[in-house]
Amino acid sequence: MPFDTGNTGFMMLATSLVLLMTPGLAFFYGGLVGRKNVVAIMFQSFAAMGLTTALWFVCGYSLCFSGGTGGVIGNLSLAFLRGIRPDQLLEGPTRIPLFIFIAYQIVSAQITPALITGAFANRMRFGAYLLFLTLWLLLVYCPVVHMVWGGGLLAKWGVQDFAGGIVVHCIAGFSALAAVFFFGPRKVGDSKPSSIPLVAVGSGLLWFGWFGFNAGNALAADHIATLAFLNTALGGAVGAFVWIFTSWLVEGKPKFVGFMTGSLAGLVVVTPPGGFISPQVAVIIAVAASILSYFAIRFKNHMHWDDALDVWGVHGVCGMFGIICLGIFGSKAVNPAATDGLLFGGGAFFVKQLVAVVGAAIYAFLFTYAMLWLINKVTRVQATQHEEEIGLDESLHGETAYV
């Protein structure tokens, strides 16, 4: 059977859009940190692009998408992509080449560990980061992908995640929280962002790429892709404006960085249910997620958790909330591939979603903390106070973003 040129072209475009998100994240984080740490935080995102791609080719894809159904992780039968032909199609009705599906999964994997870097900004040494990145991808990301998207345990149980509430945002956010507790507060705090315009560039690239991230998970240029596309547009815009009005009421000023943070909260929450809910529901949950995320970050600040760039408050909280919302609002009337949520009689599905996302969060948190502890036994993980004072750009990389 020949491949579908329309669906294939759509997936190539979606893959390109998602690829753009990791450099966008680098700009977003680079603008938020102080001037002495811009290179270091941006380098971590770009390093994730290169190392993740290599690991995906060697064994990552195989660990996620091979093996029998109902398992926790795949096997190495597809390591180095052996046995996969250029004309081989992905199983299912979309008739796209398997190669473009592999490429799409690569770029989705790239941004997930890069999200975590915002939690330990200015504090992690680069060599330890590369070791952490490798182990986290293989031992946290790959098992969760296999269980949810690769036909594994959670998929067999009936858990759904359209574009990455559990797989991307929840595990990244709660891994970030573990890193916050492991590292503790920065010895030298950033007084202000290095460049709000750079944050805006990064926010725009993330928002733009998110259309590929959500719509691309339909794996076809069809009505479900357009539904996810529209829900993405609504989620980002609603989340942004609800955030600034919330902060305006609470703090007395509408803030541009808050607007961009709110857009991320809205985008994150519509990611897991994006192809399974109506646009009206997308607006409702984006409103709720923006408010929830705003107050989660205020709670984090009150507790003095040094999540430097609010990874837990945006990605962890909204990713978890999005999965729970899918368990409430998912509807077969919107998408026959969906499971009806709590509002439509799907009480058992709601419980499954809740248990799965809480379990994934706990696993990611505990494993990340233990992993950092073990890595620290091999090589120093945390920058010294002297390195923090100089800035990681100069002390670790010998480069500076600004003269």
Angle formed by the axes of helices 256-270 and 279-302, nearest 10°: 120
Q: Write the CA distances from 148 to 69, 191, 205, 272, 283, integer angstroms.
A: 11, 41, 27, 12, 26
Nearest Cα neighbor of 346 from 328, 359, 360 is 328
Nearest Cα neighbor of 127 from 341, 311, 387, 333 is 387
Calculate the CA dihedral of residues 177, 178, 184, 185 and round it to 10 degrees: -20
Q: Decide if 150 contacts 343 (C-beta within 8 A).
A: no
What is the pLDDT at residue 318?
A: 98
pLDDT exceeding 70 applies to what percent of the chain? 100
Q: Decide if 275 contacts 162 (C-beta within 8 A).
A: yes
Per the DSSP assignment, residues forming a β-bridge with 382 are: 124
Per-chain mean pLDDT for the chain: 97
Q: Residues with Cβ < 8 Å from 116, sequence gap 6 or more? A: 136, 172, 175, 176, 179, 311, 368
Per-residue confidence band for 14, with pLDDT thresholds at 50, 70 and 90:
very high
- Residue 83 is encoded by which pair of tokens? 């046995």
54-75 residue pLDDT tens: 999 999 999 999 998 899 999 9
Residue 191 has pLDDT above 80, yes or no: no
Predicted TM-score (pTM) above 0.95: yes
* CATH no. of 5-397: 1.10.3430.10
Average pLDDT over residues 264-270: 98
What is the pLDDT at residue 385?
A: 93
Residue appearing with tokens 């195989």: 62
Per the DSSP assignment, residues forming a β-bridge with 89 are: 97
Per DSSP, the residues of 200-216 read: HHHHHHHHHHHHHHHHG
Phi then psi dihedrals of residue 224, to 5 deg: -70, -40
Cβ burial 181-197 (10 Å sphere, 16+ → b, else e): ebbeebebebeebbbee
Average pLDDT over residues 280-302: 98
Domains of the chain, residue spans = 5-397
What is the pLDDT at residue 45?
A: 98
Helices (H), 33-152: 38-55, 61-65, 98-116, 126-136, 142-148
76-114 residue pLDDT tens: 999 999 999 999 999 999 999 999 999 999 999 999 999
Average pLDDT over residues 223-251: 98
Reading phi first (left if > 0) and then psi (alpha if -120 to 50, else beta), residue 92 is in left
Per-residue confidence band for 189, with pLDDT thresholds at 50, 70 and 90:
confident
